[in-house]
Amino acid sequence: MMMKKLFFFAASLVAAAPCVQRSDNITDSDNASGTASINELFVAKGKKYYGTITDPGLLSSEQNAEVIKSYFGQLTPENSMKWDATEGTQGQFTFDNADTVVSFAEEMAC
């Protein structure tokens, strides 16, 4: 299951790359390659942001977390805010995983 998620994540990066061109008014970000992030390229073309999904399972990998921080400008929780994740048993709520995603997004200032 995790391999499918990583494949989807990588495929979304590859699929988006040909859709944008580098613009002279883009400043380099602090990502590892020293080039503009996918989000910066999309914003330079007039889009609001380029985002991705995440959940604590993906964020547990430091490499995944760094890619998300470096290249994306918006986060959507994958499953951690769905009803079955927040109320596994009727009347008993837990938001720990949702809170992890929100905290990560706040660190990114998304």
How do the pLDDT tens digits run along the chain, 110 residues long? 555 555 555 555 544 444 444 444 444 444 556 678 999 999 999 999 999 999 999 999 999 999 999 999 999 999 999 999 999 999 999 999 999 999 999 998 74
Number of independent structural domains in the chain: 1
Helix 96-108 to helix 62-71 angle, to the nearest 10 degrees?
Answer: 50
Neighbours of 99 (CB within 10 A): 13
Task: Show the domain range for 68.
Answer: 2-10+35-108
The helix/strand/coil state of 51 is strand
Looking up tokens 């470096």, which residue turns up?
Answer: 70
Q: Is residue 73 part of a domain?
A: yes
The amino acid at residue 67 is V
Measured CA to CA, the distance from residue 22 to residue 71 in angstroms comes to: 14
Q: Is residue 74 part of a domain?
A: yes
Q: Is residue 26 part of a domain?
A: no
